Structure formats: structure tokens, C-alpha cells
Amino acid sequence: MKKYRVAVLAGDGIGPEVMREGLKVLRAVQSRFGINFEFHEVPVGWAGIDAAGKALPDKTLKECEEADAILFGSVGLPGRDPTLPKNERPERASLLYLRKHFELFANLRPVRLYPGLNHSCPLKESRFGSGIDIMVVRELTGGLYFGQPKKTEEYVVVDEEGSEGRRVFLRATDTMVITTEEIERIAHVGFEAARLRRKKLSSVDKANVLENGVLWRDVVTTVGKEYPDVQLEHVFVDNAAMQLMLNPSQYDVLLCENMFGDILSDEAAALAGSLGMLPSASLGETSELSGIRFGLYEPAGGSAPDIAGKNLANPIAQILSAALMLRYSFKEEAAACAIEAAVEKVIAQGWRTGDIASASEEGNRIGTTQMGDMIVAALG
Ligand code: NAD
């Protein structure tokens, strides 16, 4: 029996409610797939501040360091203690810290519009005839967000009349830097993801204007030679943004540098209709010792304080995040597919949490717990 140690950080708001359902589903796949999970549940976010005085308590960090993967809920409660400095607030002090601490360089955001949920997509049905099933793979540690120099400085303009006409302006500089090494490692993640899907990779760049884009295109093309079974195409970022609205079905994996991926992953996410349907994975390197790729898995949405504690939250994003953990960290592809198939079955049966129910589906509305139960039942 294969054993995996998982740090479980449910967090705030709807975090604990949806996490309960995620763990229920993981427990249900254990015996069927010969897996044994060791769950270590520890506080994070405001729950961490309440329990141990900080958003990422030492014990929580230690559990994460000893784990094979982190299953994360959500953190942040906008109404609580506005005097707490930004750097100590849960979003920065826990989530961003964990991403940096574990060098999670690849962000994966699958966006799928499930059959039966066409009403929740903002596009006309004629635009996505063959469905929407896209994986945005985003580089997380390089590019414009981290390049140096990054500064705001004063500069002075003096007009011809002299010091009377002296005006002071500010100039802000960000620098876009990406290295061969960074492109290579994210490209491998993209091609490997495509191999597990429909074997098409669309690499996004701005090679017609940016030096970064020229290097990106060259390196991705070279890495692509190692994956002859994956069809590679290059697309300019502005065109990718437009095509996502015009014909999203053409995309399988979209491979993007940091800023392009930030923007396109949100644009693509809007196509799935609800944040409650969107899982995500942030991956680090694969351990040479265990063969396990460390990762942090979480719903794309936040703590949804407006619906917290009311059994209204959609747990599917958390459950699908658990499936991603099985696929990308543990290479338990069959168990991951079984969870995804169970979610699809329950949606096809017509069961809906409030966020994905159309007006005519009121009678099929169920709560967070019932949705988890239905998915476990659908696992068989
Ligand atoms: P949010 O994602 O929490 O909520 C936005 C809207 O989506 C709300 O109407 C909410 O009810 C709905 N929603 C989100 N998840 C849902 C689900 N599973 N089921 C049904 N509906 C769902 O964004 P927000 O309101 O801007 O932020 C609330 C808090 O969450 C803030 O403190 C923010 O900083 C934090 N946040 C945390 C994360 C994270 O932990 N990764 C991500 C985003 C926001």
C-alpha cells in the first residue's frame, strides 16, 4: 500500500467546510486504489492567528515541510482587524510565504465547463460547440513581477525659461527578465501536462516585440523536440486573449510566462462560470529520493465570507484540487480520473450547489455536505 503524508491547511471562511468534503472524497478513494493518506490538519490564516498568534504558525510550517504535498483551503477575512500590517495578514504571511518557501514555480489552473453547465458560461453556446477544457500553465517565479531593477524615482524637466519652469515627475520602472533555465523547467511541466490530456500545447509569448518572447519561443521549441507526441503551436498573447473569447475549444494547454499567465488564467476562469468549480496546483521540483513532486493544491477562489458557515459553498474546486494532488504529486492517475469522473457524473445527474444552479434547476439545489456525499456515492 502506497503511503502519502498530506499537510491539510483548511484556513478561514468556507475553507474548513469545503476541506471536509475534499478529505471525505480522498478517504473514499483510499482502499479502492491501494493508497493510504496520513492527513495532518493544522491551522493557517486567521485560524493560525487565533491558535498560535500568526498566520503561518511554526507547527504548520513544520508539518508542510514534512509532508509530500499541501492541501490548502483559503485564507483571509476582509472584515477582521484592519490594523494588522499587510505583511502579517494571512494572504501574504501564509500563502505567498509558502509559495516562496517551497519554490513553487509552476501554477496549473484547469478550466473546464462541464456538460450541463453551459448556462453558467458567459459566452454564447455557438462559441464553444465542442466544450471548454483548458489548462493554463503559468511560470510563477520570473518575468516582470520579479525582475530587477524595480523602482520609482524622480526626474526633473526644466523648460527653456529656466528654473521657473522646473517640473518634477515620477518614473516607475519594472524589468522583465527570464532565463533559459526558467523557461525549460516550466516548458517541461507544460508538455508533461499536455501528455496527460489532448496532447496539444499552445505556447504564449510576445516574440514580435519582446526579447523575452524571442528567447521563450526558442527554448520552448527546443524542449518540444523531446515531446514529439505533443503538437506545439506558438501564439501571441494578444491573440490568445482574443481567441479565448472567440473559440476557446481550440486550446488544450496554454503555456505562459508569469504576467501573461496571471491575466489569461483569470480570463479563462471566467468561462467556467463559478469560482467554486476551479481547482489549482502550484508545483515545485520532484524529489530525487521519493520521486514525488511537491505541490500546494487549492481552490482558485477565496474564503467567500458572504456564504461561510451556511452549507452553501461549492466543494467541487476543493475536491478537484485533491484530484490534481493525486495526479501531479503522487502520479495516481487512475484515482485522479475516478474523482473527476464522479464530479462529472453528479453534475450530469443534475445536482447543483447555488453558484452553478440555473433558475430552472432550483429543485436540484443541494448544500456543501450533500454535494460531497453525492460525489462519494458516484465513486462507487
Ligand atoms: P472570494 O473568491 O472569496 O469570493 C468571490 C465570490 O465568489 C463570492 O461571491 C463568493 O461567495 C463566491 N465563491 C467563491 N468560492 C465559492 C465556492 N466555493 N462556492 C460558491 N461560491 C463561491 O473572493 P473575495 O470575496 O474577493 O475574497 C474574500 C477573502 O478571500 C479575502 O480576504 C481575500 O483576500 C481572500 N482570498 C483568498 C484566496 C486564497 O486563499 N487563495 C484567494 C482569493 C481571495
Among 50-59, 65-74, 163-172, 354-363, the least confident range: 163-172
Cell of 279: 481547482
- Write out pLDDT tens, residues 96-107: 899 999 999 999
Centre a 10 Å sphere on the Cβ of residue 101 and count the other Cβ atoms it contains: 13
Q: Are residues 50 and 84 in the same domain?
A: yes
Range of the domain at 362: 1-114+274-380
Q: Are residues 262 and 333 in the same domain?
A: no
Nearest CA to 183 among 146, 149, 212?
212
pLDDT band per the 50, 70, 90 thresholds, residue 291: confident
- For 163-187, b where at least 16 C-beta lie within 10 A, e where not — what string? eeeeeeeeeeeeebebeeebbebbb
Q: Are residues 30 and 76 in the same domain?
A: yes
The β-bridge relationship of strands 293-299 and 69-74 is parallel
Task: Among 272, 298, 331, give the residue marking a domain's end.
Answer: 272
Q: What is the mean pLDDT of the chain?
A: 95
CB of 63 sitting under 6 A from ligand 1? no
- Write out pLDDT tens, residues 185-239: 999 999 999 999 999 999 999 999 999 999 999 999 999 999 999 999 999 999 9
Q: Are residues 103 and 201 in the same domain?
A: no
Task: Among 231, 257, 272, give the residue marking a domain's end.
Answer: 272
CB of 74 sitting under 6 A from ligand 1? yes
Active site residue 251: no
Centre a 10 Å sphere on the Cβ of residue 153 and count the other Cβ atoms it contains: 10
Residue 14 CA: distances (Å) to CA of 11, 310, 313: 8, 9, 7
Q: Are residues 263 and 357 in the same domain?
A: no
326-330: long-range contacts, CB 8 A cutoff, minimum separation 24: 326/29, 327/196, 328/108, 328/281, 328/283, 328/293, 328/295, 329/4, 329/68, 329/69, 329/283, 329/292, 329/293, 329/294, 329/295, 329/297, 330/2, 330/4, 330/35, 330/68, 330/69, 330/292
Whether pLDDT at 289 is above 90: no
Q: Please report where in the chains the cell 480522498 appears, as a residue.
A: 26
pLDDT band per the 50, 70, 90 thresholds, residue 165: confident
Q: Are residues 237 and 156 in the same domain?
A: no
Distance 259 CA to ligand 1 centre (A): 21
pLDDT band per the 50, 70, 90 thresholds, residue 159: confident
Structurally, the chain folds into a number of domains equal to 3
Nearest CA to 271 among 258, 296, 295, 254?
254
Q: Atom 31 in ligand 1: which residue has the minimum CA distance?
A: 76
Whether pLDDT at 15 is above 90: yes
CB of 356 sitting under 6 A from ligand 1? no
Q: Are residues 98 and 127 in the same domain?
A: no
Q: Which of 71, 91, 99 to mutate to test the pocket of ligand 1 (most atoms within 8 A of CB)?
A: 91
- Write out pLDDT tens, residues 23-33: 999 999 998 99
Whether pLDDT at 248 is above 70: yes
Q: Are residues 69 and 151 in the same domain?
A: no
Edge-to-edge strands of the sheet including 231-236?
35-41, 2-11, 69-74, 293-299, 279-286, 106-113, 132-139, 253-256, 200-205, 231-236
pLDDT band per the 50, 70, 90 thresholds, residue 352: very high
pTM assigned to the model: 0.94
CATH of the domain at 327: 3.40.718.10
- The single residue of 145, 174, 199, 218 carrying the catalytic annotation is 145
What gap in Å lies between CA 320 and CA 252, rounded to an integer? Answer: 18
Q: Are residues 214 and 289 in the same domain?
A: no
- Write out pLDDT tens, residues 125-136: 999 987 899 999
To the nearest whole percent, how much of the chain has pLDDT over 70? 99
Residue 320 CA: distances (Å) to CA of 14, 68, 151, 166, 351: 16, 18, 40, 59, 16
Q: Which of 297, 355, 371, 375 to mutate to test the pocket of ligand 1 (most atoms within 8 A of CB)?
A: 355
Distance 220 CA to ligand 1 centre (A): 34
Whether pLDDT at 162 is above 80: no
CB of 78 sitting under 6 A from ligand 1? yes
Residue 180 CA: distances (Å) to CA of 67, 77, 143, 185, 186: 30, 39, 12, 9, 10
Whether pLDDT at 161 is above 80: no
- The single residue of 114, 206, 227, 355 carrying the catalytic annotation is 206
Q: What is the largest CA-CA distance in the chain?
A: 83
Atom of ligand 1 nearest to the CA of 298: 41
| Beta-strand runs (E) in the chain | 2-11, 35-41, 69-74, 106-113, 132-139, 147-158, 166-175, 200-205, 231-236, 253-256, 279-286, 293-299
CA angle, corner 101, sides to 82 and 219, nearest 5? 120
Q: Are residues 167 and 193 in the same domain?
A: no
pLDDT band per the 50, 70, 90 thresholds, residue 163: low
Q: Are residues 374 and 233 in the same domain?
A: no
pLDDT band per the 50, 70, 90 thresholds, residue 306: very high
Stronger pLDDT, 51 or 163, i.e. the higher one: 51
Atom of ligand 1 nearest to the CA of 354: 20
Q: Are residues 63 and 3 in the same domain?
A: yes
CATH of the domain at 135: 3.40.50
Task: Among 272, 302, 336, give the residue marking a domain's end.
Answer: 272
Ordered DSSP codes for 71-95: EEEE---TTS-TTS-GGGSHIIIII
